[in-house]
């Protein structure tokens, strides 16, 4: 049987090939317009959309294929539930960001960095969900990558300046996927994890829509969303593990207040 490391190498290479072919991808474009809340909204479905679907078909079954090579001890809960969400979110963010690179060198460096992060994510998932004790901090790596992906998503969508409905929807979906990745090893039923992920995603989406109708700068808005995502993710995880205490809530509140002060002191207002 092919080992999990060989599977990671193969799937990482395949993902890289698909992302690298993005500039040459051609196909039909379809434009849809409707009027939510009485204002026109136009959405174009073209090559980027089809590339996203292709990445979904590669990353999701591929993640399950990688994890199935790991010998999980008997009696553990199914470890494939939601394990694909972080690799999928990273691939989707990379697919959206690659066309915005300023030159070929930046494009190539971003692509190689994405593949390195993807490989590290899959390796960490195998180590964490396979319950392997060792020096490699798999849980810490996955959390760091999830929060870094969230920050990248929020800041970039604010910078691009898309319609608030579109950007808020993307933030909702991205937060949903990243939250599910953060809690992949929490010992609760699958429906509970996905419910908490959906609630967190809706909160972020609503805040993003609200922030876009204020005078907040892109950097301040993105950092505020990342702060809310970080705080709620930790609180919801403690709640699912039945470890939520008044002291922990106080620590989160204090951390949030300090972060707010730093954001409004040092992040530019325009």
* Confidence class for position 165, pLDDT limits 50, 70, 90: low
Residues 7, 9: Cα–Cα separation, whole Å: 5
Q: Which of 7-11, 45-49, 96-100 has the lowest mean pLDDT?
A: 45-49
pLDDT of residue 80 exceeding 70, the answer is no
SS (H, E, C) 8-42: HHHHHHHHHHHHHCHHHCCCCCEEEEECHHHCCEE
* Confidence class for position 232, pLDDT limits 50, 70, 90: very high
- C-alpha distance from residue 143 to each of 4, 16, 185 (Å): 21, 23, 12
pLDDT of residue 5 exceeding 90, the answer is no
Residues 41, 169: Cα–Cα separation, whole Å: 13
The pLDDT tens digits for 130-150 are 777 667 788 889 999 999 998
β-partners of residue 43 are: 32
pLDDT of residue 162 exceeding 70, the answer is no
* Confidence class for position 74, pLDDT limits 50, 70, 90: very low
**Residue range 161-183: average pLDDT?**
80
Which tokens go with 100? 């915005």
**What pLDDT does 75 receive?**
47
Residues 20, 55: Cα–Cα separation, whole Å: 12
* Confidence class for position 14, pLDDT limits 50, 70, 90: very high
Residues 88, 98: Cα–Cα separation, whole Å: 15
- Do 15 and 118 touch, CB atoms closer than 8 A? yes
**What pLDDT does 101 receive?**
86
Q: Name the residue with tokens 């809690």.
A: 183
pLDDT of residue 38 exceeding 70, the answer is no
The conformation of residue 98, written as its DSSP 8-state character, comes to G
**What pLDDT does 78 receive?**
53
**What pLDDT does 73 receive?**
52
- Do 86 and 149 touch, CB atoms closer than 8 A? yes
């Amino acid at each position: 049987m092919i080992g999990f490391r060989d599977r990671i190498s193969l799937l990482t290479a395949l993902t890289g090939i698909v992302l690298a072919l993005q500039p040459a991808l051609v196909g039909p474009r379809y434009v849809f317009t409707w009027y939510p809340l009485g204002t026109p909204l136009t959405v174009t479905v073209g090559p980027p959309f089809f590339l996203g679907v292709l990445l979904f078909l590669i990353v999701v079954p591929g993640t399950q294929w990688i994890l199935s090579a790991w010998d999980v001890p008997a009696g553990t809960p199914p470890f494939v539930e939601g394990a694909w969400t972080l690799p999928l979110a990273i691939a989707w963010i990379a697919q959206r960001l690659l066309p915005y690179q300023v030159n070929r060198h930046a494009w190539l460096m971003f692509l190689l960095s994405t593949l390195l992060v993807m490989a590290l994510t899959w390796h960490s998932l195998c180590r964490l969900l396979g319950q392997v004790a060792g020096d490699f901090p798999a849980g810490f790596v996955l959390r760091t990558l999830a929060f870094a992906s969230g920050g990248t998503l929020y800041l970039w969508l604010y910078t691009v300046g898309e319609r608030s409905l579109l950007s808020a929807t993307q933030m909702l979906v991205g937060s949903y996927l990243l939250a599910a990745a953060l809690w992949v090893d929490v010992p609760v039923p699958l429906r509970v994890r996905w419910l908490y992920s959906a609630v967190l995603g809706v909160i972020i989406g609503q805040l993003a829509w609200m922030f876009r109708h204020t005078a907040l700068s892109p950097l301040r808005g993105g950092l505020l969303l990342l702060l809310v995502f970080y705080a709620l993710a930790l609180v919801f995880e403690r709640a699912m593990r039945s470890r939520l205490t008044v002291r922990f809530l106080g620590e989160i509140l204090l951390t949030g207040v300090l972060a707010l002060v730093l954001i409004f002191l040092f992040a530019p207002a325009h």
